[in-house]
Amino acid sequence: MAGKKKDVNDENATAGTPTVRVERGSLLESKAEVIVNAANSKGFMGGGVAGAIKRAGGPEIEREAILKGPTPVGRAVWTGAGKTFFRGVIHAPTMEKPAMRIPKENVGAAMRAALMMAEEKACASIAVTGLGTGVGGVAPADAAVEMFGAIRAFRGTRLREVVLVDLDDEMVAAWNAEMSERG
């Protein structure tokens, strides 16, 4: 359901709740201004989405993230985007160390931190994959609930759109179901 766009809380749209678009695809091909890395607190970018960002943008992204760390779960840091066309990368840790299994609540904490950093940096749009659903082991349905909960609660003046994008059909279906059920 690429391109599906809906405000997640119509009655509060004027209060600054961003609209949400769900797409099946690559984070690195998103048309958003900034991308979000589901990081670890140490800033290492080994595998999964973090590894793909590092391969596309270059090792300077990881070096900068490490220098700004450690970043606890529930906080986020901003780095340059290297060789990619994005304005920056928001590193929002879902785990303290690389390759940890995490509780689903870490997904909500990371999403809130990413939204707050986007607002602080005056971003109009961000793209995010299924936080915590890789090595973190969070089920896509649980990640969708946590991510949408954070988006619905967020109020800002600058961030206008959140693009939820993933290559995993189960994650995309979970986002669409969450949007339809509680939209």
pTM, rounded to two decimals: 0.90
How far apart are alpha carbons 162 and 120 in whole angstroms?
15
pLDDT-derived band at 17, boundaries 50, 70, 90: confident
How far apart are alpha carbons 121 and 143 in whole angstroms?
25
At 44 the pLDDT is 95
Per-residue pLDDT tens digits for 18-73: 999 999 999 999 999 999 999 999 999 988 999 999 999 999 999 999 999 999 99
Question: How would DSSP label each residue in 140-159?
Answer: HHHHHHHHHHHHHH---SS-
- Domains assigned to the chain: 4-182 (3.40.220.10)
pLDDT-derived band at 183, boundaries 50, 70, 90: low
> Residue 90 in contact with residue 64, Cβ under 8 Å?
no
Per-residue pLDDT tens digits for 161-170: 999 999 999 9
At 182 the pLDDT is 67
Structural tokens at position 148? 């949408």
At 129 the pLDDT is 98
CA atoms within 13 A on the CB side of 50: 31
Residue percentage of the chain with pLDDT more than 90: 85
At 14 the pLDDT is 47
Per-residue pLDDT tens digits for 85-115: 999 999 999 999 998 899 999 999 999 999 9
